[in-house]
């Protein structure tokens, strides 16, 4: 059986995520971040930010709402039970702070097959309310035994 490449280029519904102060703190605590910029409003303001700063990898939190529908899309046809996360890349623009709304759009960038495994590469582009790209992600998911 071969992978279905027909959906390459498909763009999925954008998702807007409102970045909250306590969500940033919850995330920072979960991953062990201790920089006061992520946790302490006064420290963030003293450094010139409007509110606590999202750690770079918080990109996962605001991007995932746009990624899930792409992973489960019927045209893409991923067997979720056999999927593993093979690789990840993020490129960051301006930092994100609490109070911002970030809109992420996902597209299916590539599908290929190597040694019996399917490689599904999704791209996400996340923009802030000023239209600046705050993060671009490349999500490589491997589906075993396609």
Identify the CA nearest to 39 among candidates 57, 21, 56: 21
**Cα(92)–Cα(72) distance, integer angstroms:** 26
Written as six digits, the tokens of 100 are 């911002």
Binders of another protein among residues 100 to 119 (CB under 8 A) are none
In this chain, which of 9, 69, 87, 99 binds another protein, going by CB under 8 A?
A: 87
Written as six digits, the tokens of 81 are 């039970």
Q: Rounded to 5 degrees, what are φ and ψ at 36? A: -60, -20
Q: How many helices (H) and strands (E) does the chain have?
A: 4, 5
In the complex, the smallest distance separating the C-beta of residue 1 from another protein, rounded to whole angstroms, is: 20
Q: Is 143 in the site for another protein (CB under 8 A)?
A: no
How many residues sit close enough to another protein to count as binding (CB under 8 A)? Answer: 32
**Cα(126)–Cα(17) distance, integer angstroms:** 10
Per-residue interface string for the shown chain with another protein, residues 40-79, x marking contact by CB under 8 A: -------------xxxxx--xx--xx--------------
In this chain, which of 37, 106, 108, 121 binds another protein, going by CB under 8 A?
A: 37
Residues forming the site for another protein (CB under 8 A):
23, 26-27, 29-33, 35, 37-38, 53-57, 60-61, 64-65, 81, 84-92, 95, 138
């Amino acid at each position: 059986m071969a992978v279905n490449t027909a959906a390459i280029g498909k763009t999925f519904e954008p998702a807007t995520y409102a970045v909250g102060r306590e969500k940033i703190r919850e995330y920072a605590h979960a991953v062990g971040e201790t920089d006061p910029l992520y946790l302490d409003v006064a420290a963030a303001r003293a450094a010139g930010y409007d509110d606590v700063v999202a750690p770079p990898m918080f990109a996962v939190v605001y991007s995932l709402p746009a990624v899930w529908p792409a992973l489960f899309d019927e045209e893409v046809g991923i067997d979720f039970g056999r999927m593993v996360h093979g690789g990840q890349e993020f490129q960051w623009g301006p930092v994100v702070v609490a109070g911002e709304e970030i809109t992420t759009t996902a597209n299916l960038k590539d599908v290929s097959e190597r040694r019996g495994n399917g490689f599904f590469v999704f791209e996400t582009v996340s923009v802030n309310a000023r239209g600046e790209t705050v993060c671009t992600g490349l999500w490589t998911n491997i589906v075993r035994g396609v």
